[in-house]
Structure 1
């Protein structure tokens, strides 16, 4: 079945070649606001219009449903120019977007019909061996960061699969292969370079501005535009792991192994993602295994390795090689939506519910051009939030070892967008209710991960008791609500 990924790629390419463009056509007459920006920015930056290759590159998203056709694409190359741009869009009340890696699944979160700011030029990576930190630009993807740090035998707490952008991932929290050891990515940030809504460029640290520093840790793009992150680095050897694909007949064995792993494995260097997929007519498993060392201790992954497999790519390798072994780009170019719930325990009974949801929605949504129905089971240690004693915007509660759970649907026809979004809401409710019914009552009112949450998730479900403080800070830093002109979850 998993050879079907090649068939899926063919289906997607055929659809994109034969259907009308996802992005609506724009007039070729430059917008006055774009002309004003072009006249005001320095030679470090540029403005591109419809038809230019860098316009196309600028608006591109991993999910085609996340792209829109803006008045122009601006590629700033200096933080001061971003300040100029914010001044212009704010004074003209022009909607705008800020895009880092372009991996957002929510429509309109990093795209716009107004002015599109593409951060590609913020791509510097500067490692400081003495401080054991690295400065990384907000236009990078994690693959770039891992490759640059590999010669120094160090690494950061970053994305687990290929192609994910640094900026959105970090500003929303950041679950990593190394989170059991060091926490979320936000727990390892030591400084931000931020362009505030009033155009000033500041360095934000805990010492200089503790309130804003905490708010940026999970607070997304509410407080301005981040151009650079400074992260702690950690020693990095070769790692062990990779991808195993497993067919329907052996899903019960995978479920048993996954539940046992979460219940019994306490080694912080070990991690898994068990993904239930429905692809081309049947359910199956994509199993990612990870150990932060060249060889895992005996017994940790034996249950998974004993299961008959369809394909297997597990070895001792570089960290970047393991990340790029993930299948996350198999459906690039399709329409997509994420949704999520938090859970406390991936029990065998809950995994049965997830399998049933995979099959039910896979069968039903395939009739509406659904090409990939996926549920990511992501166990972590209960201590995952104990690595940071500071207050952070997300998670608002660090006393519960909440586990993220990602629902991902991909389809082809935009006329079914609402159907898939409603299905993502319905299936999240089913999984949540099943978890509560089996005794996970602490989940009632528990926060959900912003980077997985569907676009209409109430802010209170993400930020909980932190919300009022974040809203007050936002009003102070951005009194004219410039950042409210951009997409995303807004305080």
Structure 2
């Protein structure tokens, strides 16, 4: 493992044209020289292509020099330590769990190596402890399926195709957040590989500072290779999608504000409101995901929505896995997410939907893609969520410094062809800046940015507050003193 280090000084004198090829040879060859040799995938091989094209958004599909697929924490340790040793500064690497983040270069890389954790995808239930041990490459659909025979579940992704690792490290909003806090608050233990290659466990008694930092701190400390989550008793849920005509917007906003302000009276309820336009049908509709985490139809928290005439309604008693599958987003498109957080103020929601409708008209006039979609998702973030977090030891999201009920908005655009990148990407970023300016004029803007929905143009970690920022940098310095995960691994960094 020491031999590749000898070539590092040569990098400074190589002609620029040969630099990428030389670094590729050094970094991938170093992996090839380890016991992982059969798990290193090169361009044009079937395994490489399968991994590279399996990202949720096509714009996140990059071309790393090679891809390595570990099967265990020990494999991850070998991969990380080898890349760190092979070249002190040039073996950059990305870490990919489910690959659901649409931002290019967050969980993938050009001019580097991608560590693809998709082969580490098992879920093990420890009945005596009430703990589910979940590997980072699993998708939530497989987690729910694995736990269902035991009559338990965990607070996980509301879409079955979302990967475990990124979701949990970004906080994680689940159907159960109003009952148990964010998904990250329910991680009892993280097994993590540090930049040194060491495999350690972070929990309330062993490395408690790292345990807290990982609850929202993303990939800034190492590669998490196992999450041990506290389980919940599993009932059938009541839920589904209810579709309404866009003309009911005023009633919907009133119902949404009421729901958010009163969620503390019945935390079994969950709601996601979507204002959606699809070019395929030329339909501008409203679609609500209503979920109740007990087998009780039409519970009181949904009373205001029930007063509004709908077009269709799939609500029923069903499993969490089936309800999550119903919320899966279509793959095979270019995507952008942008997100903001606001006070639970009807004027903010009215402005957001007005801006959304204006963007639809702009896209109609200019889009070249045969198929495109524009969505605005509105979700309650009442202070009840972080009251649970505090009761469980806290996280680093920084929401506990706010006393108001909030709402979290996601602008989510999809389109078929790269020629429309210059249209949809600015529309998604401009609508956010315009809404932020309006919210600020109402004293209704909040600085928190949900990392799991953030665009690469945003800085979610800065929204955690100065105290958490200092804490995260201190923990990163302690566990990654050479800043490998700050400087050589892409994603949302501490700055």
Give the TM-score normalised by structure 1. Answer: 0.88
SS in 1 for 2:62: coil
Q: Within 5 A, what are the aligned runs for 1:147-296?
A: 147-265=145-263, 266-280=265-279, 281-296=282-297
Which one of the candidate residues 352, 355, 372 is aligned to 2:353?
355
Following TM superposition, by how much is the alpha carbon of 1:319 offset from its aligned partner in structure 2, in angstroms?
1.1
Corresponding position: 1:80 with 2:82: no
Answer whether contact 2:449 2:460 (CA < 8 A) is retained: no
Match of 2:94 in 1: 97
Match of 1:329 in 2: 329
* Structure with greater helix share of residues: 2
The 2-side partners of 1:184 and 1:395 are apart by 12
Corresponding position: 1:409 with 2:413: yes
Match of 1:6 in 2: none
Which one of the candidate residues 467, 474, 481 is aligned to 1:472?
474
The 2-side partners of 1:41 and 1:140 are apart by 24
Q: Within 5 A, what are the aligned runs for 1:133-144?
A: 133-144=131-142
Answer whether contact 2:261 2:382 (CA < 8 A) is retained: no
Following TM superposition, by how much is the alpha carbon of 1:342 offset from its aligned partner in structure 2, in angstroms?
0.8
Following TM superposition, by how much is the alpha carbon of 1:165 offset from its aligned partner in structure 2, in angstroms?
0.7
Answer whether contact 1:342 1:402 (CA < 8 A) is retained: yes
Match of 1:344 in 2: 343
Match of 2:8 in 1: none
The 1-side partners of 2:93 and 2:101 are apart by 16
The 1-side partners of 2:416 and 2:298 are apart by 43
Answer whether contact 1:248 1:282 (CA < 8 A) is retained: no
Corresponding position: 1:111 with 2:130: no
Deviates more, 1:396-405 or 1:226-235: 396-405
Match of 2:10 in 1: none
Which one of the candidate residues 37, 40, 45 is aligned to 2:34?
40
Note the alpha carbon deviations across 1:423-472, whole angstroms, 9 max, x for none: 222211222233333342xx45x321111122132356322111122123
Match of 2:11 in 1: none
SS in 2 for 1:378: strand
Q: Within 5 A, what are the aligned runs for 1:369-384?
A: 369=368, 371-384=372-385
Taking structure 1 as reference, are residues 140 and 84 closer, same or farther at Cα in structure 2, changes over 3 Å only?
Answer: same
The 2-side partners of 1:172 and 1:226 are apart by 13
Answer whether contact 2:184 2:216 (CA < 8 A) is retained: yes
Taking structure 1 as reference, are residues 314 and 461 closer, same or farther at Cα in structure 2, changes over 3 Å only?
Answer: same
Following TM superposition, by how much is the alpha carbon of 1:126 offset from its aligned partner in structure 2, in angstroms?
1.1
Corresponding position: 1:319 with 2:326: no
The 1-side partners of 2:356 and 2:306 are apart by 23
Corresponding position: 1:51 with 2:44: yes
SS in 2 for 1:168: helix
SS in 1 for 2:430: helix
SS in 2 for 1:321: helix
SS in 2 for 1:40: coil
Answer whether contact 1:238 1:318 (CA < 8 A) is retained: yes
Deviates more, 1:201-210 or 1:391-400: 391-400
The 2-side partners of 1:312 and 1:391 are apart by 38
The 2-side partners of 1:141 and 1:403 are apart by 27
Note the alpha carbon deviations across 1:413-432, whole angstroms, 9 max, x for none: 32443543332222112222
Match of 2:6 in 1: none
The 2-side partners of 1:46 and 1:252 are apart by 55
Answer whether contact 2:297 2:316 (CA < 8 A) is retained: no
Which one of the candidate residues 390, 395, 401 is aligned to 1:392?
395
Which one of the candidate residues 47, 55, 61 is aligned to 1:61?
55
SS in 2 for 1:275: strand
Corresponding position: 1:490 with 2:493: yes
Following TM superposition, by how much is the alpha carbon of 1:37 offset from its aligned partner in structure 2, in angstroms?
0.4
Structure 1, unaligned runs of 5 or more: 1-25
SS in 2 for 1:388: helix
The 2-side partners of 1:155 and 1:410 are apart by 31
Note the alpha carbon deviations across 1:12-61, whole angstroms, 9 max, x for none: xxxxxxxxxxxxxx99x984422320221347x61112222321222221
Taking structure 1 as reference, are residues 426 and 397 closer, same or farther at Cα in structure 2, changes over 3 Å only?
Answer: farther
RMSD: 2.3
Following TM superposition, by how much is the alpha carbon of 1:374 offset from its aligned partner in structure 2, in angstroms?
0.9
